[in-house]
Amino acid sequence: MHTNVWYVDENVDSDKCYPQIVEAAQLLKQNEVIAFPTETVYGLGGNALSEKAVAKIFEAKGRPADNPLIVHVASRPHVEKLVTTIPKQADQLMNAFWPGPLTIVLPGGESVASNVTAGLDTVAIRMPDHPVALALLTAANLPLAAPSANLSGKPSPTSAQHVIHDLDGRIAGVVDGGSTGVGLESTVVDCSGDIVTILRPGGVTKEQLEEVVGEVKIDPALSDDGHQPKSPGVKYKHYAPTAPVTLVDGSYSFIQQIVDKRRAEGLKVGVLATEESKELLSADVVIPCGSKEELITVANRLYDVLRKFDESNVDEIYSEVFTHEGVGAAVMNRLSKAANNRIIKE
């Protein structure tokens, strides 16, 4: 399959038609799959009303079929066609955070393709905050099921080049709108109970949610890989570079001891560091991933750094750990998935 690439200014006006957007939207209407940028990562979109289109997403990614997909919309009327009801708290969160990196799990209607929801009676929906994404959604006039546009298990793509590296020849096209913003996927919340529950931490923090709806819970199943997930990105090993990742919860000297031991055994070792630690740690490859003082910078760069380790051909990667407060919860969730929950404590 030939994969088209359309270059679009990231500040495209979603109210105007651009030939590239129109061409990509036409393919979506024909149930092809197209990668496009959002403010979090690049998504791989297909018609959420067509089982045929959604099956192409799973096939291109090599994604397990029991892992539900997020549906992206450009308007509230599309939401209303996909669900049976919108609870009050969900409405409050839509008003506060949409468009933006918040996915809301709602009771699903009959119109959404069954393979979008992995057989669940709920559907996960968000409105992306990116001009190119909104322009494409508007031009296609379809809700788009869109997981991250990468091979399943690999680090999510934050540029069109990442998408092409993973999926060239496997999808109909990529709308290249430049690098993404947040760098981590959306927060996923379940609004079907009395208390809003976080199913996956992401770009909107627990503290921000609580300012709108009061108490917010964190789903204990986040740490359980044996359940049927309501949310994408929580059941399987995700975000992993080729070399195994291990988290190290300890001092810099403890991290250095581990690195030195493995290098002495003949291994090429990489370290995922921060701006604060990059001069304090020595390894074959040391790549800083933002600042501990500003964790949003770590979130922005995490997937790009994990992919850079693939280019360096290291045998193992060690990473320091971060606080679970604020956006740190999302950073640690993704790092734990990348490490398949491997952690060494001092």
Binding residues for L-threonine: 40, 72, 122, 126, 146, 186
Determine contact, residues 115/63, Cβ cutoff 8 Å: no
- Spatial distance between the Cα atoms of 252 and 105, rounded to a whole number of angstroms: 40
Q: 22: helix, coil or strand?
A: helix
- Spatial distance between the Cα atoms of 102 and 119, rounded to a whole number of angstroms: 22
Q: 83: helix, coil or strand?
A: strand
DSSP states of 265-326: TT--EEEEE-TTTTTT---SEEEE-SBTTBHHHHHHHHHHHHHHHHHHT-SEEEEE---SST
Determine contact, residues 74/138, Cβ cutoff 8 Å: yes
- Residues flagged as binding site: 40, 63, 67, 72, 122, 126, 146, 148, 156, 186, 200, 239
Structure tokens at 87: 């609870």
Task: Indicate the helix (H) or strand (E) that contains 28.
Answer: helix 19-29
- Residues flagged as binding site for ATP: 63, 67, 148, 156, 200, 239
- Spatial distance between the Cα atoms of 77 and 63, rounded to a whole number of angstroms: 29
Which stretches within 62-187 are classed as H helix?
76-82, 88-97, 131-140, 160-167
Q: 217: helix, coil or strand?
A: strand
Cα-Cα-Cα-Cα dihedral sign, residues 318, 322, 324, 326: negative
The letter for the amino acid at 249 is D
Residues in Cβ contact with 306 at an 8 Å cutoff, skipping those fewer than 6 apart = 155, 239, 240, 241, 245, 272, 338
Determine contact, residues 3/149, Cβ cutoff 8 Å: no
Structure tokens at 123: 């559907």
